[in-house]
Chain A
């Protein structure tokens, strides 16, 4: 499993807008680079990222992104969320060669 790093401000105030930062280990191989032997390496990128906010049975899509080879290796994405209530943040990355990873983080508002 690839390493992921998720940064959420701890205990944000209710209704404040917070920045969520996510980093994941991935080469984002463009499909255009030749290797040492001059052979072009096949494309291997993360194609999609999404973040959902889950409270009970309710799951809201907050933010999603379609990524292209122009996104740097070890993709970093930061976006925002209005912290209205406690819940679970669910992060999902999917990509070439069946790449799929899910991470979760608790959101606790004060």
Chain B
């Protein structure tokens, strides 16, 4: 970690107050990962995914990609007859598409999940929900990350 944590540039400090540090990031080599769309299609077992009902909350300004708070909520009465059975979050550019996959019972009373995620870089994120009638809804957000998570170190 120390290797790239602080690579201050004297010139940068003295000449400009804004700029990017040359963080020397060595990317591990990955086998060609699946796309975000492919991951979503797999989750919905090929079924149609409609935009809506799902709200994906994430800060616009991200200090550090190591721990980015997110909240996903789904508009649902959470009754036995009408409830969310699963909420999952996928990304476009991390080493792996999946981030978290949850299952809910109607006993939960509210379809909402909060957690903290790692973001390797600026990218699209999608939260997707499965209803008990087999339908799927989603919300996609774009995030800008200035300092990536350590998964890139």
A33 interface neighbour in B78, B117, B119, B150, Cβ under 8 Å: B150
Q: Which residues of B contact A30 (CB under 8 A)?
A: 95, 118, 150-151
- B99 at interface, CB cutoff 8 A: yes
Interface of B is mostly: mixed
| Nearest chain A CB to B103 CB, angstrom units | 5
CB <8 Å contact, B104 and A63 = yes
Cα(A30)–Cα(B96), bound, Å = 10
| Nearest chain A CB to B123 CB, angstrom units | 11
Pair count A-B, CB < 8 A: 114
Q: How many residues of B contact A (CB 8 A)?
A: 38
- Scoring B residues 103 to 123 as 1 if CB is less than 8 Å from chain A, else 0, what string do you get? 111011111111111110000
- B141 at interface, CB cutoff 8 A: no
Cα(A84)–Cα(B109), bound, Å = 10
CB <8 Å contact, B110 and A80 = yes
- A32 at interface, CB cutoff 8 A: yes
- Which B residues lie at the A interface, using CB under 8 A? 2-3, 26, 28, 66-69, 71, 78, 91, 94-96, 98-105, 107-119, 150-151, 153
13 contacts between A and B (CB under 8 A): A32-B28, A62-B108, A63-B105, A65-B113, A69-B95, A71-B100, A71-B115, A71-B116, A71-B118, A72-B68, A76-B114, A77-B114, A79-B108
